[in-house]
Structure 1
Amino acid sequence: MKPKAAVVIIGVAIATGSSLGSIARSETDTRAIISPKDVKWAPAPASLPAGAEAALLYGDPTKEGLFALRVKVPKDYYIPPHTHPKAEVVTVLTGKFSLGMGPKADRTSAKPIDAGGFMAMPPQAAHYVFADEETVLQITSVGPWSIDYIDPRDDPRLNIAPDGRRGAAQRED
């Protein structure tokens, strides 16, 4: 069996000192009203390739329970094939990206999804993402949430350059 790199996406933010952990809502919060101008963006956790930003709107993805998270990615951003242990519901708020299904990335078979598009994936559904332009996604799921890269060499936390930059491993295959 091929080993998987299980990474708790927001838990990593706390463990690596990212500011996302500091904006998590307490367990006693039962409602949230956030206007677009009040969304607080921070660097995404190290479990995502460099360049993404994230804003936690509701809940705490490191704990049991519902959460809502926005992720902003630049044009040409790529998330290698991965799975999540729980269902993932995603809405494209702005921009456009392409979603591919399966354990191997194939740009030609990825389906473009424009702003306003919606997708829901069951647990363990292998998928990958290419950003066709700067894109903001809203992810709703239940925690604890994690990302399991199909190929552990794609885990950006395993490829930290001496200068601290991170990114998907360079492979020869």
Structure 2
Amino acid sequence: MRLYPSTTIEWKVGPPSLPAGAKMAVLEGDPTKEGPFVMRLQAPDGYHILPHTHPKTERVTVISGTMFLATGENLDRSAAKALPAGTYGLWPAGMKHTAWFEGGTVIQIHGTGPWQINYVNPVDDPRNAKKSP
């Protein structure tokens, strides 16, 4: 048996596929490899992940704070759904969506690896940002 009290979770800098500012903690499995995984994402107030998709289904639980989700390839705040703490959602593979967070927010993601994020507009992908010399 493994237990993960919130006070013992080891947060690390989020992956390069996400905008700077997020932290991540892997609770089970390895999201970079084939197979099941569970990870948490900690996002600061105002954090945005611009329109993107995932090649595999994601299952998301909002642990604390509020996540906002808008579907489609363009950000439409008026069509967004507020997902307060306790909300569970299933994002089908290939669903175009944008997420942003109010208040410090923690979400838990269950999925099958490898976990990937593909931005609708490549210019929004942090991995494509020009590095300063």
- Counterparts of 1:144 and 1:52, CA distance in 2: 19
Q: Is 2:105 the counterpart of 1:135?
A: yes
Counterpart mapping for 1:43-122 below 5 A: 43-122=13-92
Q: Is the 8 A contact 1:32 1:57 kept in 2?
A: no
Identity rate of aligned residues, in percent? Answer: 43
- Counterparts of 1:63 and 1:161, CA distance in 2: 27
- Counterparts of 1:72 and 1:137, CA distance in 2: 7
1:153 positional shift: 0.4
Q: Is the 8 A contact 1:32 1:58 kept in 2?
A: no
| RMSD of aligned alpha carbons | 1.2
- Counterparts of 2:113 and 2:103, CA distance in 1: 29
1:46 positional shift: 1.0
- Counterparts of 1:53 and 1:127, CA distance in 2: 20
- Counterparts of 2:3 and 2:34, CA distance in 1: 21
- Counterparts of 1:131 and 1:106, CA distance in 2: 15
1:161 positional shift: 4.0
Question: Which structure's relative contact order is higher, taking Cα pairs within 8 Å and 6+ residues apart?
Answer: 2
| Structure 2 stretches lacking a partner, 5+ long | none
- Counterparts of 1:47 and 1:59, CA distance in 2: 19
Q: Is 2:15 the counterpart of 1:38?
A: no
Q: 1:147 aligns with which of 99, 110, 117?
A: 117
- Counterparts of 2:7 and 2:130, CA distance in 1: 33
Helix, strand or coil for the counterpart of 2:4?
A: coil
Q: Output the TM-score relative to the length of structure 2.
A: 0.95
Letter in 2 for 1:49: P
* Structure having the higher Rg: 1
Relative to total residues, which structure has the larger helix share, 1 or 2? 1
Q: Output the TM-score relative to the length of structure 1.
A: 0.74
1:152 positional shift: 0.4
**1:87-146 per-position Cα deviation (integer Å, ceiling 9, x unaligned):** 000000000021011111111211111000111011101111011221000000001111
